[in-house]
Amino acid sequence: MCTIHGCTSAVAAKGLCWRHYNSSRKYGDPFKARSRAANGEGKAWIEEHAGHKGSDCLIWPFSSPGKRPVGRIKVGDRYESSYRYMCILAHGSPPIGKGLAAHSCGQGHAGCVNPNHLRWADPQGNMDDKEKHGTLPRGEGCYNAKLSRADIQFIRENAGRVANRSLAEMFSIHEVTVGQIIHRKRWKHVE
């Protein structure tokens, strides 16, 4: 049995059941089941600030240190991001084809939920905002990038002198990708 008084679940690790063990590992406390935001406090905070009139970013206060500062809150039977729920409260349900809550301030990644900075946008409009604010991951900024700016320049400088297949083998990428890099269909932001 779990070593927590009153818990009748089977031991999973370090004398604790899975629920208490995961809570202890994640929050440093076996009794802290979920974050305050997920337990309703975050939803109440959003609802309280839906009429916010300030022009500065309103930062989500429930983020954990080292985690992405965007909260998820339970709304009915599903979870919503904190900024999406704020956009619903401030601007109504999203119109058809414009289901993304876009940030005009460029601080969505930092946890801004100011209703005056949010609007409904289509995917292209959201990407345009990210491009405008410099928050769109490109090239080496992407978590799964295999190539660097220097690699791209090398491929383009050697296009026509070295076969695409050889360049692809050098960098462990597909030959088609080499062609797309040369013709600036990929990595077009690199000169």
Listed by start position, the domains of the chain span 1-33, 37-136, 140-182
Mean pLDDT of all residues in the chain? 85
Say what the pLDDT of residue 182 is.
94
What digits encode the pLDDT tens for the residues 20-45?
A: 888 777 767 776 555 555 557 888 88
What digits encode the pLDDT tens for the residues 164-190?
A: 999 999 999 999 999 999 999 988 888
Instruction: State which fold the 37-136 domain adopts.
Output: Homing Intron 3 (I-Ppo) Encoded Endonuclease; Chain A (3.90.75)
Residue pointed to by tokens 């601080």:
107
Q: pTM of this prediction? A: 0.62
Closest alpha carbon to 75 in 64, 66, 67, 86: 86
β-strand pairing of 78-81 with 72-75:
antiparallel
Are 21 and 15 a contacting pair, CB within 8 Å?
no
Residue 85, helix vs strand vs coil:
helix
Which class for 20: exposed (0-12), middle (13-18), buried (19 or more C-beta within 10 A)?
A: buried
